[in-house]
Structure 1
Amino acid sequence: MNYLNLFPQRLFSATALTAITLGLSGLTGGSAQALDFGTSWDTNCLGGVGPESCSLQNHFDSQTVSGGIDAVADQTGYEWFTNTATGNATGTFMFEVAGFAPHNEFGIYNKSGSKIDLFGGINDAGDSVTVNFLSGGKVSRTTQQLEPGPINAPVWNMFEDFGNEFGFYLTNKNGETFYSQSSKNDGGYQQAVVYQGDDETVMELPGRAAGTFTDNEFIIAFEDLFRGGSSDSDFNDLVVMMESIEPADVPEPSMLLGLGVLGASFWSVRRRRSRS
């Protein structure tokens, strides 16, 4: 008998792993709590009044048709990614609510620190980018604004020796760069939160037909001010959905604390399909 088949395929999804970890952390004395948000300094968003109207949760709700994303409970802790079999990943600019919005830059970086910018402050909600992870470590990038025309035609670029494992970064107006890997940020502060689709929630992104938020789609939401200084920690400053990617490591920070070797083994099981 193949005992691996006794476990449901999605048993160890990001949500399940987080729930298990939160339960076991109480036994180990460790902490795996999700990040709580501060009160946004922005006000009067989406036709609403006050800072709550500008919250990450309110923006998620505004682009949700059915189901939903809980901005706190559904955090995955993922920080590092790779491509899926097609090698083609597409990003869609969801929204940005920030004083630095015209100057922020969002992109991917590799282990050597090389960066590829994907979106900038000039982008609008609904703009897209396609990243092709090619053989030999090459990466091509094609950017496309939502409204086509002679001025904003697709732009194609090729990058050498980048590879196919990456994290996400944001650089703000002050030249400060923040990373999806908290350990790379000054003081180890978390500057990004990541959400994974659940194959049930239906979303309607700007300029797009409504569709299911699938488990190979991820939302990356950044805070563009250093959280060790003066920051509202609202994480609505630049938000992108990326599809056809998957985590390249286990959740951090401390999402698997308390699971030990058993947790790592189960994670490996999920990443491999049984051939027996």
Structure 2
Amino acid sequence: MRIVRTVAELRETVGAHRAAGRRIGLVPTMGALHEGHLSLIRAARAGSDVVVVSVFVNPTQFDDPADLAAYPRAEDADVALAASAGADLVFAPEAPELYPSGYATTVTVTGPVTETLEGAERGRGHFDGVATVVAKLLVAVAPDAAWFGAKDAQQVVVVRRVVADLGLPVRIEVGPTVREPDGLAMSSRNVRLSPDDRVRALALSRALRAVQGAADDGADAATARDAGLKELATAGVAPEYLALADPDTLEPVATLDRPALALVAARVGEVRLIDNLLIDPFGAR
């Protein structure tokens, strides 16, 4: 396991592996690694000869300075966990390495992909930050493939748009959402939940399952969404959104005549959580 701090050292190290004909896999993370991240690293290990894990809390994608300040950081633990899952190299830069003095370029994706859901709640700057840092990491590492988690479904759509539009020669792989035994989607933010809020947070996954259950019973999109909203209300959780959207375009879905993505975001106590579930209206019929 090797830790590098600069783009120059990263390129030199990865370049030597590439010159030797080795396949390079990248797993971008913001640290505070959990089993969800580790599942992506293991998948990258299975599909690559060399696995690079980036650990960087990207300041440009935070709309709330307090959220950025509170984001958990544990580099030593992250490095140990990444190594245990099969990483060969950890790229852990300081912010000025990726955003040096005078930095003035931003990657912007326009349209519903970034203007709805998380974009509407967190502002356009959030996905500008995501698109920019991912583009910089992909250019710096030049991996054959990069792994992202399905829990951040809108981020995956944005990343795929960036790769397609910029013609970046990388394959985007998506790993399934990893959940706690009780159904809560794993997130670095979960450690900030109080014991009571940890219980209330389960309403997000229950709401998604309620949407799926209604779809299984033949409900239309509006009725299925109402089933999810009822589950949230029972737990006293007010969602920022609970939506049914096309998995590829994130356009709203009015009829459940094909698979759709149910997405939810809510603040539980002081912690903002997101989750999603692919709804198959024909899965139970």
TM interval, short-chain normalised: under 0.3
TM-score normalised to structure 2 length: 0.25
Which has a greater percent of strand?
A: 1
Considering fraction of residues, name the structure with more helix. Answer: 2
Give the TM-score taking structure 1 as reference length: 0.25
Identify which of structures 1 and 2 has the higher relative contact order when contacts are C-alpha pairs closer than 8 Å and 6+ apart: 1
